[in-house]
Amino acid sequence: MIRDFISLFFPNICLACSKPLQKFERCVCTSCNYHLPKTNFHKEKENPITKMFWGRVNLFSGASFFYFQKAGRVQHLIHQLKYKGQQAVGEYIGEIYGAELNQSMYFNTIDYIVPVPLHQKKLKKRGYNQSECFANGLSKSMNIPIASDLQRNFYTETQTKKTRFERWKNVGSVFEVKDKTKFINKHILIVDDVITTGSTIESCALHFSEIEGIKISVATIAYASNI
């Protein structure tokens, strides 16, 4: 009763459409869960994510949960996660997507989940890493450990308004893998919030690709093809 009374003044709202959530709903309402634009890339070996990296990085598999559209509900979700402190929605999306990835033959041999790291300066300012929130949800539903061995050594500017070449140049040599022996003959899943040109993930993956016997896969919350 107390919760119902409080909800009259401070309702839990859907972080995609801002409508009040029902008691049984968490972060995203049932309608948005049904209507958000899913890519289903994880069901295909060759898809826009894997094709993006042809000639750049040898990926075993790649996928994104949603299509990203400007001013759309997915953009609203990402904005809530990155800039409004709504860490729970990142974990929630990760849990749902992880359950789907478990059913895919391309993602059921993952050994470690590796979130794209933030620089300490940006991490201190934001207070959390949105990619790690997503990774936490994936880890929970896929029952796979998170490996935080990838670190960002240099602070880079926001990628939002940069061209593909500028994005690549901006992150070309900013990452480092602390313990490479840990990943010998392992299958890793590099995860991030949004993939646009793939420059950030390419930079991360290139450091791992030097490791003997490694398989590299990629998963993101959203795929932005027109930004």
pLDDT digits (tens, 9 = 90+) for 109-158: 999 999 999 988 889 999 999 999 999 999 999 999 999 999 988 766 55
The average pLDDT across 20-42 equals 95
Q: What is the 8-class DSSP label of residue 170?
A: H
- pLDDT of 8: 39
Distances, alpha carbon 147 to alpha carbons 16, 92, 111, in Å: 29, 20, 9
Domains and CATH numbers, the chain: 37-223 (3.40.50.2020)
Helices (H), 143-218: 164-171, 199-208
What is this structure's pTM?
Answer: 0.87
Give the span between the Cα atoms of 196 and 109, in whole angstroms.
26
Distances, alpha carbon 62 to alpha carbons 14, 73, 122, in Å: 28, 23, 27
- pLDDT of 166: 53
Burial of 157 (0-12, 13-18, 19+ CB in 10 A): exposed
User: 3-class SS at 13?
Assistant: strand
pLDDT at 11 over 80: no
